[in-house]
Chain A
Amino acid sequence: MSNAISVKNGAEFNGAVRVSDAGLKGMITLRGDLSSTKLAAAVQETTGLAIPSRREIVFKGETGIAWMSPDELLIFCAYEQAEMQVAALTETLTGSHFLAVNVSDARAQFSLHGAGVREVIAKGSPANLSPAVLNPHEIRRTRLGQVAVAFWLSADDRLELVCFRSVGAFVYDWLCIAAAKDSLPEVY
């Protein structure tokens, strides 16, 4: 078995904010009817968390659930547990219309840490990042440059961003350039 590493293998950049590769994360895409009680029960049983409301992201320790679209959730867990959780979900949901896939190796996650995280992202995304609109516990799927990303504020000065691994190196480079020292417009 080959040794799994994340896309930038823990790289870190210190500029106006700190950009770091968040390392290997377990991520599971779960699609299905989010209003069904069977699916809610399966998610509760596997993760210990309830299905979040529209655009909400909930975390308890390393386990989390993000609302991605009206029929899709992204479940976060420890990298090693993803396969097990997919198996558990599949077993509970067999018979209903659903899809559970371990996408851990197809995603990359980066952490931004510092006072200007909103401004770094605002340089390349059309999303409204003002504190009045983007709340913590809200996941925003949008684009960064020309690639699709999703991000949420885990604290006032901390932003987590997930993207496809295939564009992970590009997104990391992009974030480092956008986070160059003394380059923030200071609008927020």
Chain B
Amino acid sequence: MLLLTCPCCGVDADETELAPGGEAHVTRFGAGASDDDFEGYLFHRKNPKGVHFERWRHAMGCGKWFHAARATDTLEVFGTYSAQVLAPPKDLIEKIKLKRPDWEGF
């Protein structure tokens, strides 16, 4: 079971209170983009075994979107952060690197 701390309302929210939003920091390619870019935006996901950045929505709580970093193999949660960013915060990346020295990075 996942327990994520919502950065918007500060509640320790259980997985069943949240709605998953898939992989985070996917660059959107829309009208005018090449077919390859659009295909990548629609279909290509990292699906790693290990550190993963995801979008979640506190659906049954404050209703806000946020980002979470967690390990897909151990369900360890490294941290949650604001939805209004294009990349994970530096201090969170440092924290993950300390815990997972063999992680290839974001």
Contacts and interface: CB of A to CB of B under 8 A. Distances in A.
User: From DSSP, what is the main secondary structure of chain A's interface residues?
Assistant: strand
Contact of A70 (B9, B11, B12, B14): B9
Contacts of B9: 54-55, 69-70, 141
A140 B60 CA distance: 10
B62 interface: yes
Contact of B12 (A69, A128, A141, A143): A128
Given A126-B16, A126-B17, A140 B62 contact: no
| Tier of interface size on chain A | 10 to 19
User: From DSSP, what is the main secondary structure of chain B's interface residues?
Assistant: loop
A186 B96 CA distance: 40
Contacts of A128: 12
A76 B60 CA distance: 21
Interface of B: 8-14, 16-17, 60-64
- Which 7 A-B pairs have CB atoms at the shortest separation, nearest pair first? A126-B14, A69-B62, A143-B60, A141-B61, A148-B60, A70-B8, A126-B16
